[in-house]
Amino acid sequence: MKKALCNMGGFMALKNNGQILKKYPKFGHVCKSKQIIQYGNDSYGALSGRDLAAATISLYESVKEDYLFPRLAQTFYFGKRLADAGVPIFTPFGSHALYLDINKMFPERKWDSFSGVGFTIELLKKYGIRTCELGYMAWELDRYVEKHKKLPENMPPNFIRLAIPANVYHKEHIDYAVDSIVELLQKKETIPGVKIMRGKDDALRHFIVGFELLDPKDCQK
């Protein structure tokens, strides 16, 4: 729900007499017992009344065209402005997120320099824009190569994700983000790569890993 409906939380919806409940008739009971122990009763699930009210309203709003049209239009506007400025971006554009192509941004760099992470660091540090690398670092390509001694036949995607929460940003925010990304790419020779220094083999390392910055000159193929 955090991405599209309200401030925080999530939910799981199951169809009455659907395939899951037919195969696992105690599924709901098990889930509820676990939820009560860890989060709270299933009527609120550790969420405040304010968040439950926001989620309820959003569930009704989010299926209406007068809500969906500006939501999709904002993402399209963001993506088109980036594409028109020459930023390598994955198309067609999504509904709640855009994806920048790291390989096309840094074709001259080694894959294991994780320059997409360096880009997200610089964008946050210099412009206050928080993005997310969903690329070779996140998909643990380095661990695959260590295990198999070669790159996979089908390489994982190598993207930077720009997630766009609903009902948050105005046109001016989007324009600022576009100008910032374009300006940073114009100085991409200054963007560092990164070396993993902590948590490389930990579960969910994407959220806890620690890095050391690499000089851009050391990232070249």
Q: How confident is the model at residue 213 (pLDDT cuts 50, 70, 90)?
A: very high
Token readout for 132 is 């997310």
Q: State the pLDDT at residue 120.
A: 97
Q: Is 107 helix (H, G, I), strand (E, B) or coil?
A: coil
Q: State the pLDDT at residue 19.
A: 93
Q: State the pLDDT at residue 175.
A: 98
Q: Rounded CA gap, 195 and 144, in Å?
A: 16
Which residue, 72, 100, 65, 56, is CA-closest to 166? Answer: 72
- In percent, the amount of the chain with pLDDT more than 70 equals 100
DSSP 163-207: E--TTT--HHHHHHHHHHHHHHHHTGGG--EEEEEE-TTSTTHHH
Q: How many CB atoms lie within 10 A of CB 54?
A: 19
Q: How confident is the model at residue 138 (pLDDT cuts 50, 70, 90)?
A: very high
- Tell me the pLDDT of the chain averaged across its residues: 93
Map out the domains of the chain as residue ranges.
19-61, 65-219
Q: Which CATH superfamily is domain 65-219 in?
A: Aspartate Aminotransferase, domain 1 (3.90.1150.10)
Q: How confident is the model at residue 165 (pLDDT cuts 50, 70, 90)?
A: confident
Query: What is the per-residue pLDDT across 74-110, written as a single tens digit (0 to 9) for each?
Result: 999 999 999 999 999 999 998 889 999 999 999 999 9
Give the count of alpha carbons within 13 A of 190, CB side only. Answer: 8
Q: State the pLDDT at residue 48.
A: 87
Amino acid 209 reads V
Q: State the pLDDT at residue 9.
A: 83
pLDDT at 188 over 80: yes
Q: Rounded CA gap, 80 and 109, in Å?
A: 26
pLDDT at 8 over 90: no
Q: State the pLDDT at residue 94.
A: 85
Query: What is the per-residue pLDDT across 9-67, written as a single tens digit (0 to 9) for each?
Result: 888 888 888 999 999 999 988 988 988 888 888 888 888 888 889 888 888 988 899 98
Q: How confident is the model at residue 5 (pLDDT cuts 50, 70, 90)?
A: confident
Q: State the pLDDT at residue 135.
A: 96
pLDDT at 2 over 80: no
Q: What pTM was estimated for this model as a whole?
A: 0.84
Q: Across residues 120-132, what is the average pLDDT?
A: 97
